[in-house]
Amino acid sequence: MKAVLITEPGPPAVLKIGEVLEPQPAEGELLIQVKATSLNRADLLQRRGIYPPPAGTRADIPGLEFSGTVLESREPDCRFKPGDRVMGLLPGEGYAELVVTPAVTVMPVPPNLSFEEAAAVPEVFATAYDALFRQVGLKEGERLLIHAVGSGVGTAAVQLSREAGITMFGTAGSNEKLSKATELGLDVGINYHTTDFVETVLHQTSNAGVDAILDLVGASNWEGNLKVLRPTGRMIIIGLVSGSKVEADLSVILRKRLRIMGSVLRFRTLAEKAQLTHLMIENVLPLFEQRRLTPVIDRVYPWQEVSAAHSYMEENRNFGKVVLAGRW
Ligand SMILES: NC(=O)c1ccc[n+]([C@@H]2O[C@H](COP(=O)([O-])OP(=O)(O)OC[C@H]3O[C@@H](n4cnc5c(N)ncnc54)[C@H](OP(=O)(O)O)[C@@H]3O)[C@@H](O)[C@H]2O)c1
């Protein structure tokens, strides 16, 4: 089969389409014909050789999610049969014609979504849903600050928070991204190049601050985040695009009784991923069918233009997801 290969660690040009052996499904797994996948920030790091996948997953084929059709099922419960339209999370290897994956981490594609749209759902909606509602425990009426609100995960977080009745502040690097995020439900957009998010959030909340923060950016926001969290506020850090090293005044965390969490999906156990998949099917996918949630796609690239797609994301140009699809 064909797959996009990381021929050596390096810039987007190291990605080439090549031939690899077809994967074989084991007991409990499905063999899937991939129709589309989408890029995640982690793919860029993996391409540069600094984010290896979990053991047992090929390091030279990126891809954390897929949409496609079932070709073969070795699942005893027969929840899925050949021909079914499915989508799901992967630990890697999604930039390929075929993938095998445990059936317990597979979701049906909502009937109103195309394969391209479906490929933009699993990673960002599972990440945002898990972080905001299972870990931070957001409640209706709370105030949330989302950093990198125009990212794939950010655009999922805005929509899920809107549906939950949350008041949202969000940062991004351009007014264009902020105005698109506002269309999705963001209440207050802050361009971090021109405006200090701490001042804006404190001003807009009469110095009360926010109940929670979803931080996809990391180091550069650390100090400001501690300032804008209200006493007993919660913060979850799930991305480190600005770096991971900070100098911390731990006394603020004590005095304000803050709860600071971190999370990553890719390295969770199969049982944890299966549980999250189940919760997505129960709680999130119906909102797509009701057209209350939408996959936000910036661009769809053909597989042959995968290097251009990586460059586009690396230049921070995308609002929402970048999808790979089409004929090989
Ligand atoms: N922990 C997990 O399980 C998990 C899962 C998925 C994703 N993530 C993380 O979540 C983040 C978003 O992922 P994604 O795939 O949705 O990414 P994405 O669509 O590529 O968006 C990332 C955005 O971050 C902003 N950014 C980049 N460098 C920045 C900097 N130095 N300071 C401030 N903002 C910066 C850029 O937007 P601006 O134009 O606004 O600067 C960029 O478009 C990434 O950090 C990723 O690693 C974590």
Q: How far is CA 264 from CA 13, 30, 172, 216, 310, in A?
A: 28, 24, 22, 11, 21
Indicate which residue's Cα is closest to atom 1 of ligand 1. Answer: 264
Ligand 1 centroid from CA 241, angstroms: 6
Q: Pocket residues for ligand 1 (CB within 6 Å)?
A: 40-42, 123-124, 127, 148, 150-153, 172-174, 177, 216-217, 220, 238-239, 241-242, 263-265, 313, 316, 318
- Provide the CB-side half-sphere exposure for 210 (13 A, CA): 30
Nearest-CA neighbor of 194 among 173, 220, 170? 173
CA 164 to chain centre: 19
Ligand 1 centroid from CA 205, angstroms: 26
Indicate which residue's Cα is closest to atom 23 of ligand 1. Answer: 151
User: Of the residues 147, 241, 272, 297, which should be mutated to test ligand 1's pocket, given the most ligand atoms within 8 Å of the CB?
Assistant: 241
pLDDT per 10-residue tile (average), the chain, 328 residues = 98 98 97 98 97 94 98 92 97 98 98 98 98 98 98 98 98 98 98 98 98 98 98 98 95 97 95 98 98 98 98 98 97
| CA-152 nearest atom, ligand 1 | 16
| CA-262 nearest atom, ligand 1 | 1
Query: What pLDDT was estimated at residue 78?
Result: 81
Query: What pLDDT was estimated at residue 124?
Result: 98
Q: How far is CA 269 from CA 67, 75, 90, 276, in A?
A: 22, 19, 12, 11
Indicate which residue's Cα is closest to atom 22 of ligand 1. Answer: 151
In order of start, what are the domains of the chain with their CATH numbers?
Answer: 2-121+266-325 (3.90.180.10), 124-262 (3.40.50.720)
Between strands 143-146 and 167-172, the pairing is parallel
Nearest-CA neighbor of 324 among 203, 316, 313, 1? 313
Query: What pLDDT was estimated at residue 81?
Result: 95
Ligand 1 centroid from CA 215, angstroms: 9
